[in-house]
Structure 1
Amino acid sequence: MELRQLTYFEAVARCGGFTRAARQLHVAQSAVSAQIRALESELGVALFTRTTRRVTLTAAGARFLERARAALSELDTARGELAEMSEVLRGRVAIGATSVLGPFDLPTALAGFHGRYPGVALTLRSGLIAALLGRLDAGEVDLVLGPVHDDLPARFTAHPLATESVVLARPPGARPVGTLDGVREEAFVCLSAESGLRAILDVAAKAAGFTPRVQFETSSPASIRELVSAGLGVALIARSAAEREGPPIQVCRLDPSPAHPPIGLIQRRGHRLTAAARACRGHLIESAAG
């Protein structure tokens, strides 16, 4: 039994005749008839009832049609998977990521993806979430990993990967506090006014009844810890950032704890990713889940 025979048989059944099937297949009618006769001979049953006016399936033909279509569908699926795999293997993926990703281990996840698809050209760009979303808009990156704020524009869609929380960082040896109100008179270290972290600080301070005095503004989350460790102020930082190795700080858990947005995988809504980017997205989600 040949694949061509199954293809011709399905076409005759669908078109209701040899002539129409031959036209659709772009082959001679005699070729279609010959292949169907050969198939019937091999199976030992008639698949069609032929008259001068019409061609109809026999009971055996109807049963065989179900199996033939299932086989052809499986073959089409296999062809699609192989084509996508080939596209992945020669693809490129550009990822944007913030430095704060909660418990999600991006380096390990990317190493795992590289091990599975060593031929994919993988690039990583870091920065603050606003700048990375701009790169996503411009098509400079395929995916962005970072905090998913409530005001994420509708042109983006996000898949949650991990949760994150906020703690208060104070200089080493400072008096422990349990509320943000306890440091209302101190200088704050934070990111720029356009950053998500600054919005978290402003909301939490407003709830505590004061306006924070941001005396040290930086563009790097890592430098926040350095400035706090040097005794220049206090800061709200992500818990994962506080738990990393770095300059010593005193970590205070606050009550109430300021809300931190979840960490997610962000992409442009309605934009079809390349095969390589789809494979990378699936791998990152899988890594976060497991």
Structure 2
Amino acid sequence: MELRQLVSFDAVVRHGGFGRAAEHLHIAQPAVSAHIRRLEDELGVRLLARTTRRVGLTEAGELFLARVRRVLTELETARDEAADLAAVLRGEVVLGTAPVLGGLDLAAALAAFAARHPGVLLTVRSAPVAGLLADLDVGEVDLVLGPLDDDLPRHQTATPLVEDDLVLLTPPGHRLARSARIDLADLRDDPFVCLPPDSGLRRALDAAAADAGFRADVPLEAPTPADVRAFVGAGLGVALLAASTVRDAGPAVGVHEVRPAPAHPPIGLVHRGERHLSPAARTLHAHLVQTAG
């Protein structure tokens, strides 16, 4: 039994005759007839009931057709998967990363991906998450890795990876430096250092301060979380910052739990939906999900 015989049998049934099946398969009609004849001889049953006007299925043909189409569907899936694998080996993917990535070791994850898929051209672009999400919409990045805020538009799909928490930073010598936990309301008169107003961190600070009954004074905006820590270390104010960003080496600061504990969005991946993901991007997405897990 040969694959071309199965394909010809399916085509004859699907198109209602030998002539139209031959046209669809771009082969001669006698070749289609020969395929069906050899198939029936091998099976020892008649699959098709031929009349002068139409070709129909026998009872055996109906049973056999269901199996044939299942085989052809599996074969088509296998071909698609093989094509995807080939595309991954030759693909390109642009990953946008926000400065805050929780406990995810991105360098190690990307090194493992590059070793497994050396033919993929991987580009990493670091920027604030708001700008990266805008780039995602116009196709300049394939995936965005960063905090997942609640206000993502419906056409963007989010996959949470790791959790993170917000902690309070105080400069050396601050009056509350010895406190393990600090009520945010006790800092209503302190200047805060924070990221720009369009950042998730700034929205978190504003919401936490409002819950504590005051409006945070932010005279100094920092471009990155590392700069926030540096400014606090220099005595320029206090700050809320993701706990993951404080674990790295940097200027000496006090690190405190804060009450009430402000919410920090999980770190995750964002894309525009499966139809917008190339095979390379889908593979990187799956790799990062597996790495985080």
State TM-score, norm by structure 1. 0.91
Distance, in Å, in 1 between the alignment partners of 2:15 and 2:151 is: 53
Distance, in Å, in 1 between the alignment partners of 2:27 and 2:75 is: 21
User: Which position in structure 2 is the counterpart of 1:85?
Assistant: 85
User: Which position in structure 2 is the counterpart of 1:151?
Assistant: 151
Distance, in Å, in 2 between the alignment partners of 1:246 and 1:235 is: 15
Pick the aligned partner of 1:241 from 241, 245, 248: 245
Can you list the C-alpha shifts for 1:235-268, whole angstroms capped at 9, x where unaligned?
A: 1001111223332322111121111122221123
User: Which position in structure 2 is the counterpart of 1:218?
Assistant: 222
Alignment of structure 1 residues 34-113 onto 2, 5 Å? 34-113=34-113
The Cα of 1:155 is off from its aligned counterpart by 4.3
- The alignment-based identity, stated in percent, is 55
Can you list the C-alpha shifts for 1:98-128, whole angstroms capped at 9, x where unaligned?
A: 1212222222222222122111000111111
Pick the aligned partner of 2:236 from 224, 232, 235: 232
Distance, in Å, in 2 between the alignment partners of 1:286 and 1:139 is: 25
Alignment of structure 1 residues 1-290 onto 2, 5 Å? 1-172=1-172, 174-176=177-179, 177-268=181-272, 272-288=276-292, 290=293
Task: Give the secondary-structure state (helix, strand or coil) at the position aligned to 2:107.
Answer: helix
Distance, in Å, in 2 between the alignment partners of 1:52 and 1:151 is: 65
Can you list the C-alpha shifts for 1:56-81, whole angstroms capped at 9, x where unaligned?
A: 32333222222221211111111111
Task: Give the secondary-structure state (helix, strand or coil) at the position aligned to 1:254.
Answer: strand
The Cα of 1:29 is off from its aligned counterpart by 2.0
1:251 maps to amino acid: V
2:20 maps to amino acid: R
Q: CA 1:62–1:274 in structure 2 vs 1: closer, same or farther (change >3 Å)?
A: same
Can you list the C-alpha shifts for 1:80-109, whole angstroms capped at 9, x where unaligned?
A: 111111111111111111121222222222
Residues 196-205 or 54-63, more deviating: 54-63
1:15 maps to amino acid: H
1:259 maps to amino acid: A
Distance, in Å, in 1 between the alignment partners of 2:53 and 2:208 is: 82
Distance, in Å, in 2 between the alignment partners of 1:138 and 1:26 is: 41
2:284 maps to amino acid: C
Residues 269-278 or 162-171, more deviating: 269-278
1:79 maps to amino acid: R
Q: RMSD in angstroms over aligned alpha carbons?
A: 2.0
Task: Give the secondary-structure state (helix, strand or coil) at the position aligned to 1:37.
Answer: helix
Residues 13-22 or 89-98, more deviating: 13-22
The Cα of 1:13 is off from its aligned counterpart by 2.4
Q: CA 1:65–1:137 in structure 2 vs 1: closer, same or farther (change >3 Å)?
A: closer
Task: Give the secondary-structure state (helix, strand or coil) at the position aligned to 2:261.
Answer: coil
1:120 maps to amino acid: V
The Cα of 1:51 is off from its aligned counterpart by 3.4
The Cα of 1:167 is off from its aligned counterpart by 0.8
Q: CA 1:270–1:12 in structure 2 vs 1: closer, same or farther (change >3 Å)?
A: closer
Task: Give the secondary-structure state (helix, strand or coil) at the position aligned to 2:276.
Answer: coil
Q: CA 1:151–1:57 in structure 2 vs 1: closer, same or farther (change >3 Å)?
A: closer
Distance, in Å, in 2 between the alignment partners of 1:135 and 1:15 is: 46
